[in-house]
Chains A and B, each alone.
Chain A
Amino acid sequence: MITEQAPILIVIVPLMAALVTPLLGWIRKDICYIWVILALFVSVMSSATVLNTVIHNGIIHYHLGNWLPPWGIEYVIDHLNAMMLVLVSGTAFLVAIYSRRSIEQELPEQTVYFYTLFLLQVTGFLGIVITGDVFNLYVFLEIASLAGYALIAIGEEGAPLASFRYIILGTVGACFYLLGVGYLYIVTGSLNMADLAGILPELYGSKVVLVAFAFFMVGLALKMALFPLHVWLPDAYTKAPSVASTLIAPLMTKVAIYVLLRLMFTIFRPYLSFELLPMTKILLIAGIVAIFAGAIMALAQVDFKRMLCYIIVAEVGYMVGGIGLANSVAIKGVVLHIMNDVVMTLGLFTVAGIISFKMKSHNLTDFKGLFKKMPLTMAAFVVVALSIIGVPPTCGFFSKWYLIQGSALAGNWIFIVALLFSSLINIVLFFRIIEIGYYNLDASVSHGHDHDEGSVVSEAPVSMLVPTLAVAVIILLIGFYNQSIITNIIQYAVPKL
């Protein structure tokens, strides 16, 4: 009985919990933390139930208020979004556990409102992923973005300006998406994704449809920070409070890529995207440029969080380029990489959060002697770093492997070069940090007082350490079980090409 209602519970529980949070905070501040974890736990459990149902019984259609589609809003959950739901709610759950001490330190006054926004942000992401209605998707996109703007604005020095710029660009992106919806509505009179997919193929010659497609692409490229539309991302994620960037950085770009997949393969058929329009070329070039630009700019950074932001830009290039390869092996790699990238980015930002919690800085020069100080955190960091570089058996290797296989199949060697180039850059990036943190002890000895501080083990608080280690374990687990993930989930998520 309750499992039938699981799809709506995933979204409605965090939404309602967000509305109750300020009232609870009025009574007692510290209940909010438990409350958020509780709400997200329900969400995670519902997502897991839904994923289980989808694997065993196939696609779920949930009609809101029993209004039948195409008139009512419908939630459609297939293998792709079931996986995304578990990823999003699971990430949010881990970040919620992780958040307590960091928030106490960075935002002691605004705890209650932070958690309210936190839940709204998660609601937005979950809604984008679950919905089967294009306009509903716009509303959730804006819920997620608005909560994100507010979360980023309360960060450190310079955060409000970064957030303001993000608002301007994010609004343009969302408005373009809305225009795309409008143009599709002119020709089809429908907003339901499945209905649109049925009506549209006859209209592929229409210029209105092509304009809609173009608006969708540009709008989403802005939201996913595809180079050169990434300019809002590094500032915003660097200056946000560490917990906010830990939540937003892994999810926002990946959710936008999910929408791109949905759009290109569910609403529009691959026939339009790849045969009528030169999307293969456009996406490939955009992806390759993003990989090179992201990797090179990451090298130039001296700020740890900023460096991670440029790694995200490069990773977006992996996925967009992978879609551009337009064969099922590459798309398999893309879907697997969405999963891996959520987990890896989460790992990197949790570590960044712990370091800025302990050292009050995320500048690379302050990383001296970190391995001695926080052995467990840095062990987790090494696992995540190896995964980003793509060393087996961590999960990052397998998605890269599929992408390389896919591009060999498509005969595109430049993309392989780009992938390998970015892996090499990642080696340099992470070994530079490991060198500063591990071998650079002499430098701190010469400082005298630094030495005393540096040699004492002072691990992160347990509530921060456990999620970080959990992420490292998940990375290894995804690596070990990648075959069963692909045969049970991802191969159904890949469109027939």
Chain B
Amino acid sequence: MLEFIIGKYNFWIYIILMMIGFYAMISKNNLIKKIIGMNIFQTAIILFYVSIAYKKGGATLPILTDADAHGEHIITIAQYINPLPHVLMLTAIVVMVATLGVALAIAIMLYRKYHTLEEDEIIKALK
């Protein structure tokens, strides 16, 4: 059991981070805290993707060490880390930054209108 937890600690951290973010999104009243929660939630997914690319036992980047001469290429799959999830996460980071930007812009809009960032106070002002 302990081995199961320690051996896959990165996945446990991803789950814990995701739940922290989720909790903040659901239960916090302050809009900025919600946004921070959303960001933690998304970052946890980046950790998840990076983890699934990793290989134990000295795997390295898929760079051809000796491209011109023959031999010395890293060609066995076990020897290099899968680069694709990293590339996917570059795209996902861009998406997340854009989401963060839109969310913050709307928070600013709300603050200018209602002079508060607490959700319950805004709802009160709306009624």
**A161 and B122 form a contact (CB under 8 A):** yes
Highest count of chain A CB atoms <10 Å: which of B22, B31, B48, B92: B92
Interface string of A129-157 (1 = CB under 8 A from B): 00000010011001000100110010001
B102 adjacent to chain A (CB < 8 Å): yes
B74 adjacent to chain A (CB < 8 Å): no
Binds B, one of A172-180, A244-252, A425-433: A172-180
B52 adjacent to chain A (CB < 8 Å): yes
**B98 and A146 form a contact (CB under 8 A):** yes
Cα(A163)–Cα(B109), bound, Å:
11
Highest count of chain B CB atoms <10 Å: which of A139, A150, A168: A168
B-side contacts of A111, CB under 8 Å: none
**B31 and A158 form a contact (CB under 8 A):** no
- Select A160's contact among B52, B84, B85, B106, beta carbons within 8 Å: B106
A444 adjacent to chain B (CB < 8 Å): no
**A164 and B42 form a contact (CB under 8 A):** no
- Select A175's contact among B42, B106, B122, beta carbons within 8 Å: B42
- Select B109's contact among A160, A167, A171, A186, beta carbons within 8 Å: A160
B-side contacts of A153, CB under 8 Å: 102, 105-106, 109
A364 to chain B, nearest CB (A): 20
A176 to chain B, nearest CB (A): 9
Count of chain A residues with a beta carbon within 8 Å of a chain B beta carbon: 24
- Select A182's contact among B42, B49, B113, B126, beta carbons within 8 Å: B49
Count of chain B residues with a beta carbon within 8 Å of a chain A beta carbon: 31
**A142 and B42 form a contact (CB under 8 A):** no
B110 adjacent to chain A (CB < 8 Å): yes
A-side contacts of B22, CB under 8 Å: 172
**A168 and B126 form a contact (CB under 8 A):** no
Given A135-B88, A149-B102, also A161-B52 (CB < 8 A)? no
Provide the main secondary structure of the chain B interface: helix
**A186 and B52 form a contact (CB under 8 A):** yes
Chain B's closest residue to A145 (CB) is B99
**A175 and B45 form a contact (CB under 8 A):** yes
Provide the main secondary structure of the chain A interface: helix
B-side contacts of A158, CB under 8 Å: 126
A-B contact pairs, 18 of them (CB 8 A): A138-B92, A142-B95, A142-B98, A149-B106, A150-B102, A153-B105, A160-B109, A161-B119, A161-B123, A164-B106, A164-B110, A172-B22, A175-B42, A178-B45, A179-B48, A182-B45, A182-B49, A185-B84
Task: Please give 14 more A-B residue pairs, beta carbons under 8 A apart, in addition to A167-B38, A172-B25.
Answer: A139-B91, A139-B95, A160-B110, A161-B122, A161-B123, A167-B103, A167-B106, A168-B25, A168-B34, A171-B38, A171-B99, A172-B41, A182-B52, A185-B52
**A161 and B34 form a contact (CB under 8 A):** no
Cα(A209)–Cα(B90), bound, Å:
24
B107 adjacent to chain A (CB < 8 Å): yes
Chain A's closest residue to B127 (CB) is A158
- Select A146's contact among B92, B102, B123, B126, beta carbons within 8 Å: B102
**A178 and B92 form a contact (CB under 8 A):** yes
- Select B41's contact among A135, A161, A171, beta carbons within 8 Å: A171
**B48 and A168 form a contact (CB under 8 A):** no
Cα(A149)–Cα(B109), bound, Å:
13
Cα(A179)–Cα(B92), bound, Å:
11
Cα(A153)–Cα(B22), bound, Å:
23
B-side contacts of A186, CB under 8 Å: 52
**A175 and B52 form a contact (CB under 8 A):** no
Given A168-B25, A182-B45, A182-B49, also A142-B99 (CB < 8 A)? yes
B-side contacts of A175, CB under 8 Å: 41-42, 45
A62 to chain B, nearest CB (A): 20
**A179 and B52 form a contact (CB under 8 A):** no
A-side contacts of B126, CB under 8 Å: 157-158, 161
**B95 and A164 form a contact (CB under 8 A):** no
A-side contacts of B99, CB under 8 Å: 142, 146, 167, 171
Cα(A35)–Cα(B123), bound, Å:
39
Cα(A139)–Cα(B89), bound, Å:
11
Chain A's closest residue to B92 (CB) is A178
Contact residues of A between 61 and 78, Cβ < 8 Å to B: none
A-side contacts of B95, CB under 8 Å: 138-139, 142, 146
Contact residues of B between 56 and 109, Cβ < 8 Å to A: 84-85, 88, 91-92, 95, 98-99, 102-103, 105-107, 109
